[in-house]
Amino acid sequence: MAREESGVQPVLDNPNHEKEKTFLESSFFLEGRMPTLPSPADVRAINEKSGDIRATSFNRPPPVTFPSLGLLVKYGADTTVAEAETQIMIYTHLKDRVPVPEVFGWTEDDGQVFIYMSLVEGETLEQRWGSLTAEERDSICVELSGMVTAWRSLEQDGQDRYIGSLNKQPLNEIFLSGHSDLAGPFIGTDAVKHFQNACDIEIDEEVAVVFTHADLVPSNILLSPGSSPRIAAILDWGQAGWYPAYWEFCKARRVRANPKFFSDDLEEEWNTKYLPMILESVDDETVYHPWLCATFSEDAVEHIYRDICVSQLDGVRSITGMKVGSQLDLRAMIKDR
């Protein structure tokens, strides 16, 4: 298996995590689909036989599905047990309000984490958005807004306010990759202030701490098949945690959808018309631009670039309408806009 150097290192999982956990009370076992979950070796072998050029990726291979078992396995060095625990938390506390795949178990093997979860049928919002009617788009946004409100209403355990992922672990935010000093956790009544100072985010107003998906983009929203689609699942909770309240909107606006499905016009309409229907928007001058100016990792932006397949022209990569050269300088970009 090829161990590529992606430049983006996942936050190490809590050493107190169980290395392997199987939920015998989950539907996978209660329905008798199989007596055991497929082994990591079996999962890797199926992936390698698929012919997908990413199948041997160490950090982020494509997930493997077992349709007859209603099973999907997400794995890789970038996958964390914290993601599985977060998904379980959402499934447990918000099951009737936020649909997420059921987690059947996880295991760690040879530097990779394997999360076994239910396979949810559907297509991503990214894939279907261009063909939806105005009424269908509005309905989906209203539905999404209710889900976002549900997870933002979750309360932290204990009395200490903090910024971090579940159970006061460091954030696994891709924009902070390579900067462990920025990942926290930041604990106490001044958690937001300390976090913003560490990240050099110059926002003066008081900001609440809320639970945040942190990657709420069209590719992570699964729609039900057929006409009159509804939200079938919210996917990819790997970066979720407790963040300043503005983070969800800023991040969702910042990350561009795949241009294969979202033209520039569709992207602009998504950001200006539909995203504010889903998330509370923020002021450009006092919040969004200062957030953009923060010292985020260039490696993280490169990572996002690879994921969304943004075109590369003359050695200059265009991400969300901004040009990124060898040195990432968001301050200069903002001044030039």
pLDDT tens profile 150-202:
999 999 987 789 999 999 999 999 988 888 889 999 999 999 999 999 998 99
What is the tens place of the pLDDT at every residue in 254-285?
999 999 999 999 999 999 999 999 999 999 99
Mark which of 243, 259, 283 sits at the end of a domain.
283
Q: Which residue has the tokens 């010292």?
A: 295
Predicted local distance difference test score (pLDDT) of residue 298: 53
Predicted local distance difference test score (pLDDT) of residue 315: 31
Residue with the larger pLDDT of the pair 155 and 302: 155
Does residue 300 form part of some domain? no
Q: What percent of the chain has pLDDT over 90?
A: 73
Number of domains in the chain: 2
Does residue 276 form part of some domain? yes
Question: What's the rounded Cα separation, in Å, for the pair 103 and 116?
Answer: 6
Q: Which residue has the tokens 């059921």?
A: 102
Q: Please give the average per-residue pLDDT across 320-328, as a whole number.
A: 34
Q: Is the pLDDT of residue 64 over 80?
A: yes
Does residue 194 form part of some domain? yes
Predicted local distance difference test score (pLDDT) of residue 14: 53
Q: Is the pLDDT of residue 245 over 90?
A: yes
Residue 244, beta-bridge partner list:
209
Q: Are residues 101 and 133 in the same domain?
A: no
Q: What is the pTM of this model?
A: 0.83
What is the tens place of the pLDDT at every residue in 74-132?
999 999 999 999 999 999 999 899 999 999 999 999 999 999 999 999 999 999 999 99
Alpha-carbon torsion angle 21, 24, 26, 31, nearest 10: 140
CA-angle at 156, arms to 275 and 252, nearest 5°? 15
Does residue 303 form part of some domain? no
Mark which of 83, 118, 153 sits at the end of a domain.
118
Residue 4, token pair as written in the block: 């590529």
Contacts of 166 (CB under 8 A, 6+ apart): 82, 85, 86, 89, 240, 241
| Short-list 4, 3, 6, CA closest to 304 | 6
Q: Are residues 164 and 267 in the same domain?
A: yes
Domain extent at residue 58: 20-118
Predicted local distance difference test score (pLDDT) of residue 34: 96
Q: Is the pLDDT of residue 145 over 70?
A: yes
Mean residue pLDDT of the chain comes to 85
Check which CATH number belongs to the domain holding 45 and give it. Answer: 3.30.200
